[in-house]
DNA sequence: CCTTGTATAGAAAGCGCTTGCTGTAACGCT
DNA sequence: AGCGTTACAGCAAGCGCTTTCTATACAAGG
């Protein structure tokens, strides 16, 4: 029914061992023999049996990429960059690898399940992207799983995620705190004193770090923060819209709204407009990430650009062992403040 | 070193066969025995060896999702929906499956490579999303590959992609032609007579179908199309920006610009604004897809909503054999015209 | 001409799991 | 009591490949 190595061997009049060696190209095979084998492969339309090969060789060519939300360009861009350094015929020398992205939907259980599945497949490497959960039992479970994966020889890279102590994971961490701080400093520099903040889900590291940066900037400027000025929500437009209305209700005198990310910021803009407020004349808005659409908003969004594609590419190369990991296994990737039309001096 | 089935069997004082059956749960095992085995699995922290299992059972739990551009929400949304019906602990009864998305980057070779890789892994199912290439040799190669995959028992579903004759593939096709036609009819109905069209890459089916719909609407209204009114480009914002400038250069009297998709439309809006034109007062703009950000553009985008999430979910269910395929293996998914702020009556 | 070295091919032993088939008790029936 | 059932559990034969070790052939050196 299906063509096997043995069939190819028979047709090429060689032993299965030789065919295997031709296909893997890591053992001397005479040119004429190789030729003959390749022809047979072609004629029979032979396709290697991945599981069998993985079993015998005790390695696989699968590389997993875990993302929180594949529908969000933040992850899409990173995943794309990672994959481009790993998979398909895109890259490199050294055998094709199946780079696969797994969508956890931000759910801790799914994250764990995917890691187990990847462990089952004896994945060659795993890249985890985006913020981690701070929920304790889960964090411990993930760390344990990563440790076990690492012991089994799977290379692990965290991209845009805080380091995982006691594991072999290499971490490329985004400087969310620094970016958040810089952004708010910019707003304060323009003269804003009453700033609303729309944070992401409470239990994400990203949320906490960005918020900490924001607060650090306020503190440095001697601005006492009003607890009413912070609202939590999901990382999407809808949440931004609702949170903004809530913020406005709590304190109509706010002159700026800082959002957890660009999608949220867009929702905030919509809410402000729907409330009859002009941006930035009445209220300034700022986002985070600088996703491609952010420049198209009207007015275009002041935000912090994160080099998602670059970081992803680097993570991919490290996962493939094609780039030296940073010293200590940890590198911080900084963002860049992009001042655009959505922020201006406060009214009055 | 690594724990195997045999280790578990020894610990539970049963044969490996029994352990396997407990784990696969498709054969009667006494409750007490099962209990004992499960405990051993737990104590030993045993993880099934995927390749070995796939080899022995001649099946795998991998499901591949091919997308053209994972950084584009159009694909991200579909992939997310497909995956939610397939993978992780998200869905279903019947064993966990590893749903993986593969990014072809729109490259025919990568598409083929991924299909081969998936074939190697003996994937349980494959979902191909988005428009196909019309490039003849490649189309034939893909068809051949799909046929072979189908013969090997892999279920194949096309989502937002035209049917593949002579294969076992089930197709959920978007009615790009109908949507394109409806959109242009709307514009014509408003009074527009000189409409620019920014098409996608020439060799994509999606591009051709949307353009055909547009032209059908023009023809039906007795409008003779000027060849200068159509420009081709990639499916991204940048291309839309440049194409619009080109369109304006060719014929400054255009009163509407129809874009191949929403990203392109956003680029078009930016170009129009940068040219000092107001939307829709001077020029109306229309997109396609209705991605989440489209409603946030200023003005919000008139477009055709494609039920990406619904179609993806359905494709996922069909791929898993949890939903009957449509009769004839082909279903057409229609879009819905969303009239918003970016289209209005032409000036003068 | 025989020994040693080098290049290449084959034999065969698994890799860790699944599953058809073969026991073997315990059970129910006549 | 005798016999067919039923319900589990184990044996063992692979699944299709990789890889170590061994064999062969020929070239070169003494």
Task: Report the gap between the CA of B10 and the closest CA in chain A (Å).
Answer: 21
In chain B, % of residues over pLDDT 70: 97
Mutate to test the interface with B, among A62, A120, A153, A342 (most CBs of B within 10 A): A120
Which of B130, B95, B133, B101 is CA-nearest to residue B117?
B101
Q: List, in sequence order, the alpha helices (H) in A167-227.
A: 176-190, 205-220
Closest CA to B218 of B258, B250, B162, B267: B258
Assess whether the previous peptide bond of A299 is cis (omega < 30° from 0).
yes
pLDDT at B265: 97
**pLDDT reading at B92 higher than 50:** no
Q: With the C-alpha atoms ordered A50, A54, A55, A56, is the resulting torsion angle positive or negative?
A: positive
Written as one string, the DSSP assignment of B126-144 is EEEESPPB--HHHHHHHHH
The one-character DSSP state at B314 is H
**Taking 70 as the threshold, does the pLDDT of residue A93 lie above it?**
no
- Least CB–CB distance from B47: residue in A90, A119, A297: A119
N- to C-terminal Cα separation, chain A: 80
**Contact: B122, A84; criterion CB under 8 Å:** no
| pLDDT of A87 strictly over 80 | no
What pLDDT was estimated at residue B87?
65
Q: Which of residues 261-280 of A touch B (CB under 8 A)?
A: 263, 266-267, 269-270
Task: Return positions of chain C under 7 A from a protein CB.
Answer: 7-12, 14-20
DSSP H helices in A124-275:
136-151, 176-190, 205-220, 237-250, 262-274
Tokens of A49: 């049996």
Task: Say how far A30 CA is from D22 C1', in Å.
Answer: 19
Distance CA B225, CA B245 (A): 19
Mean residue pLDDT across chain A: 93
> How far, in Å, are A178, A270, B81, B214, B251 from residue A264 at the CA level?
19, 10, 22, 34, 38
Closest nucleotide C1' to the C-alpha of B14: D9
Band (B95; pLDDT cuts 50, 70, 90): low
pLDDT at residue A27, as a whole number = 87
| B303-305 and B336-338 beta bridge pairing | antiparallel
Q: What's chain B's average pLDDT?
A: 93
DSSP class of B324: P
Judged on CB neighbours under 10 Å (0-12, 13-18, 19+), A144 is middle
Report pLDDT digits (tens) over B282-310.
999 999 999 988 988 888 999 999 999 99
> Residue A296 to residues B161, B248, B265, B269, B289: CA-CA distances in angstroms?
29, 20, 10, 8, 17
- The arithmetic mean of pLDDT across residues A331-346, rounded, is 97
Backbone angles phi and psi of B157, in degrees to 5: -130, 135
Rounded Cα distance, A264 and B290, in Å: 18
- pLDDT for the residue A94: 43
Q: From residue A133, how far is each of A23, A108, A177 by CA, in Å?
A: 43, 7, 17
Distance (Å) from CA A14 to C1' C7? 16
pLDDT in tens, B137-183: 999 999 999 999 999 899 999 999 999 999 999 999 999 999 999 99
Task: Supply the DSSP string of B178-233, one letter for each residue.
Answer: HHHHHHHHHHHHHT---EEEEE--TTBHHHHHHHHHHHHHHHHTTPPPPGGGEEE-
Judge whether residue A2 contacts strand D, using its CB and a 7 Å cut-off: yes
pLDDT tier at B97 (50, 70, 90 boundaries)?
Answer: confident
pLDDT value at position A297?
A: 82
B36 close to B13: Cβ distance less than 8 angstroms = yes
Is the separation of the CB atoms in A267 and A236 below 8 Å?
yes
Residues 26-85 of chain A with CB under 7 A from strand C are: 28-30, 32-33, 55-56, 58
Q: What is the mean pLDDT of residues A75-104?
A: 77
Q: Which of B53, B117, B298 is nearest residue A298 as measured by Cβ atoms?
A: B298
pLDDT score recorded for residue B142:
95
Q: What are phi and psi of A65, to 5 degrees?
A: -125, 115
- pLDDT, one tens digit per residue, over A146-160 is 999 999 899 999 999
* pLDDT value at residue A89: 45
pLDDT in the model for residue B262 = 97
Q: How confident is the model at residue A95 (pLDDT cuts 50, 70, 90)?
A: low
B210 in Cβ contact with B288 (< 8 Å):
yes
Q: Which two tokens stand for residue A240?
A: 């931004």
Q: d(Cα A289, Cα A197) in Å, to the nearest integer?
A: 16
Indicate yes or no: CB of A76 within 8 angstroms of CB of B77: no
């Amino acid at each position: 029914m299906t063509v096997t190595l043995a069939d190819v061997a028979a047709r090429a009049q060689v032993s299965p061992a030789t065919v295997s060696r031709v296909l893997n190209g890591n053992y001397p095979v005479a040119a004429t023999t190789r030729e003959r084998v390749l022809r047979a492969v072609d004629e029979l339309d032979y396709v290697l049996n991945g599981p069998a090969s993985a079993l015998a060789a005790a390695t696989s060519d699968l590389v997993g990429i875990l993302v929180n939300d594949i529908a969000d360009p933040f992850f899409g861009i990173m995943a794309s960059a990672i994959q481009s350094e790993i998979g398909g015929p895109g890259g490199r020398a050294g055998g094709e690898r199946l780079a696969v992205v797994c969508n956890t939907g931000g759910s801790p259980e799914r994250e764990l399940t995917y890691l187990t599945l990847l462990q089952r497949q004896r994945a060659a490497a795993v890249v985890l992207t985006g913020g981690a959960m701070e929920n304790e039992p889960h964090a411990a479970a993930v760390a344990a799983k990563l440790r076990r994966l690492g012991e089994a020889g799977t290379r692990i890279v965290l991209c845009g995620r805080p380091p995982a102590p006691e594991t072999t994971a290499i971490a490329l961490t985004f400087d969310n705190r620094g970016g958040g701080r810089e952004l708010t400093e910019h707003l304060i520099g323009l003269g804003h004193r009453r700033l609303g903040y729309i944070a992401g889900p409470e239990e994400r590291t990203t949320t906490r770090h960005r918020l900490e940066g924001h607060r650090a900037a306020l503190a440095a400027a001697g601005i006492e923060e009003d607890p009413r000025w912070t609202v939590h929500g999901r990382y999407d437009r809808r949440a931004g819209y609702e949170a903004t209305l809530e913020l406005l209700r709590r304190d109509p005198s706010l002159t700026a709204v800082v959002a957890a990310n660009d999608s949220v910021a867009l929702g905030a803009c919509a809410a402000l407009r729907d409330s009859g407020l002009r941006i930035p004349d009445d209220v300034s808005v700022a986002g985070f990430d600088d996703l491609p659409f952010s420049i198209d908003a009207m007015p275009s969004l002041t935000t912090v650009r994160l080099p998602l594609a670059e970081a992803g590419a680097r993570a991919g190369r490290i996962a493939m062992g094609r780039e030296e990991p940073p010293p200590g296994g940890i590198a911080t990737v900084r963002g860049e403040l992009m001042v655009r039309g959505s922020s201006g001096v406060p009214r009055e």
